[in-house]
Chains A and B, each alone.
Chain A
Amino acid sequence: MKLLLIEDYDILRKSLTQGLRESGFSVTATGDGEEGLWHARSEEFDVIVLDLMLPGLDGLTILDRLRSERKTVCVLILTAKDTVPERVRGLNSGADDYLIKPFDFTELVARVRALVRRRYETASSLIQVGDLEVDTRARTVKRAGQAVLLTAREYNLLEYLALRANQVVTRTQICEHLYDFGSEVYSNVVDVYVGYLRKKLERDGWPRLINTRRGLGYVLGEPF
């Protein structure tokens, strides 16, 4: 999941970047409003975590501009402004969620995940593709009712594919949206991990789940 973090407090930005990456997100972080808007315009993100008081350009202006450009990216405002009018103003400006500092890091991760699900129109934390079940809250996977043990990298890749089930996902998209693969666009690491997933998910004569579309990418389930 690709995430843009715009927060000007250096140490907070640093710890959030680290924590979100360790939670499986691909994070682009900046402390400047102008730069943040540039990132949001030039790349596609699943979620933007946005501070309001920023140097260069304030958070609400960034949000207004993105919405006026019909950018549908989910935005979570992360701010010290805690009054009801400020929250209402933020949500009315087009924010999808609002979290007040200081916050529990796990709550931030949970809210970001909820926004990701919303983005992929999956209301439940349970994604079902055929006989495959991915529980995004517990980060567990079952196939034909049997638990399948995955590493963090394997799970992140599978969750990303599952959120886009029945759609072709390119290697570039995988690399951009998953931090674990971010620097390895030109290597075959994605193919290797798809191989690991196949080995675990297509054992015991289970039918093929991850299909390769030559020259395009991969599809979890059957493409439309």
Chain B
Amino acid sequence: MRSVRATLVVGTVTAMAVVLAGAGVILHAILRHDLEQKLDSVLVESARLLASTMEQGAKKVDGEFHEFDMRELEQGERPGYLQLWLEDGSVFFRSRSLGEKDLAREAGTIDAPLLRSGILPDYRPGRFLGVTFTPRVDRRRDGTSKAEETPGWKARTVTMVLARGREPVDEPAARMAVFIASVSLMAIGVSTALLWWIIRGSLRPLERLAAQISLLDEHGLSSRIDEGGAPKELLSVAARLNDLLGRLDAAFRRERTLSADVAHELRTPIAGLRSTIEVTLARARDPGQYQEALSDCLGITLKLQHLVDRILSLARLDSGQIVSRPERVLPNEVLRSAWKPYEGRASSLRLKIEWELMADREVVTDPSLLGLVLRNAFENAVDHVGGGGWIRIETFEERELLKIRVSNSGSALTPEQAGHVFERFWRGDAARGSAAHHCGLGLALVKQCVSVLGGTVSASSNMEGVFALTISLPARAAGVSACGVAAAATTLYPGGRVLGDTAACG
């Protein structure tokens, strides 16, 4: 696994090495070129001086080489070389350093001498200058020349090749190369150490962050990452992590609370079951008593089953296992069918049921989920309303939404408490309604189901003790206008009346 520190150091040092190497090569090349130019100019000057010392008469060519500093052309450790030829190829002069050897006779003109690098006769690398020139003509004081007066005289040309060792170029260049390389290596070394130290310091907040994160587990999600002293690049990371921790903490808390609530809700019915069985078995009884006890146990078991079913439904809704399967539905039919199981209880409680339904019209929704929503809403209303109260069931359209409102006269909740009714296992207060009928999951289930149906649900409670549950669903009519369907509708529920948009639609 590559570390960020190593990657940064290796990357930076490599880049620096490439830059330094490039700069070193260029610097070295420039220096070498300058030194070569200098050597060449010395060669050119020497050649011009030599050429200027030569003159020709009517019969021969002379050279006054004594004016030329011939020391470098002597035999020595690093001799120079000079050789001159006449135009017929005969050697006119050969420096003592050459002995019997010859230089290559390659030359340019006096204005553009040929300069080249090559190997000297003693196998040293050298610089060669070749020039062909015409020695000046020997003249009298009056400016006349015997040679020029001689009939058939023709000016002679001389080719000169002057060679010197490249030491004045190569040695400083080599020293400079060593110097550049040493400085570069030192710079790389120092930079590597400095970079390592700086990056280690810069990454320390990251290590602290990692250490803090490593201390977190599902039990310590309430703690937060300390953002103090973090560099600004890490501040946003720490803030995001803290946000994530907050959400995780809330989720874990919800889960723990839910588990505790589930366990709590199961305790009482299980206590009832156990106590009934233990008391019954404590002594021999007649068949009627056994039958009664078994009947009580069955009642508890059915309630437990109801509770478990709701918990399971909520878990499935949470995990997305339950999805909406929309089809064309007549909401009033679903309402009527969902109410049926509660007719008996409503009648025995002498409840007044008020139906205020608009004319039935098709909507596209999942009828079984809608039925589940309505059954839970009705059960909640019937359980809370109390004997002699009323339940009102209304439907109406508002801003392209189908609204179903189930209200009852039995609210013991304050307007503020009404907002909590969708929380799982929430009850108004410790002095609750009835443990036998409520587990606090019905409306939580309603909210989840309505959400799957793409709608919303709200609850309200007023000071007159009226609790209202309003379900809003997308009213996607299947190609028929709301007005048309409402106007054509004739079916009413018993005791109900058509309300809503029909009048407004005209």
By a beta-carbon cutoff of 8 Å, the part of chain A in contact with chain B is 8-12, 14-16, 18-19, 22, 33, 52-61, 80-83, 100-106
Chain A's nearest CB lies how many Å from the CB of B342? 20
6 contacts between A and B (CB under 8 A): A9-B271, A9-B436, A14-B276, A15-B276, A82-B267, A106-B278
Is A101 touching B271 in the complex (CB atoms < 8 A)?
A: yes
Q: Choose among A8, A22, A102 the residue with the greatest number of B CB atoms under 10 Å from its CB.
A: A102
CB distance from A119 to the nearest CB of B (A): 24
Given A8-B434, A15-B272, A102-B274: A80 and B264 interface contact (C-beta under 8 Å): yes
Chain B 243-282, CB-CB to A under 8 Å as 1, else 0, gives 0000000000000000010001101111111111011101
Task: Report whether B430 and A52 are in contact in the complex, using a CB–CB cutoff of 8 Å.
Answer: yes
A101 touches B278 (CB 8 A): no
The answer on a CB contact under 8 Å between B431 and A105 is no
Select which of A53, A103, A104 is within 8 A of B435 by beta carbon. Answer: A53
Contact of A16 among B270, B275, B280, B430 (CB under 8 A): B275
Quick one: CB contact mask for B415-434 with A, threshold 8 Å, 1 for yes?
A: 00000000000010111111
A-B contact count (CB 8 A): 95
Q: Contact partner of A102 among B265, B271, B299, B427, CB < 8 A?
A: B271
B278 touches A53 (CB 8 A): no
- Name which residue of chain B comes closest to A100, CB basis: B267
In the assembled complex, the Cα of A18 lies from the Cα of B272 at a distance in Å of 12
Q: How far is the CA of A59 from the CA of B432 in the complex (A)?
A: 11
Min Cβ gap A160→B in Å is 21
Report if B283 contacts A (CB, 8 A): yes
Known: A58-B431, A101-B267. A11 touches B276 (CB 8 A): yes
Report chain B residues within 8 Å CB of A103.
Answer: 271, 274-275
* CA A101 to CA B273, docked complex, whole Å: 11
Tell me whether A22 and B267 are in contact (CB under 8 A): no
Given the interface pairs A101-B271, A105-B275, the reply to whether A55 lies near B433 with Cβ below 8 Å is yes
Given A53-B430, A53-B432, also A22-B274 (CB < 8 A): no
**With the chains together, A81 CA to B260 CA distance in Å?**
10
A127 vs B283: C-alpha distance when bound (angstroms): 27
Residues of A within 8 A of B276 (CB): 11-12, 14-15
Closest B residue to A33 using CB positions: B431
Is the Cβ of A19 less than 8 Å from the Cβ of B275? yes
- Beta-carbon contact of A19 and B269 below 8 Å: no
A-B pairs with lowest CB-CB distance, top 9: A19-B279, A101-B271, A80-B267, A12-B272, A58-B430, A102-B271, A15-B276, A105-B278, A58-B431
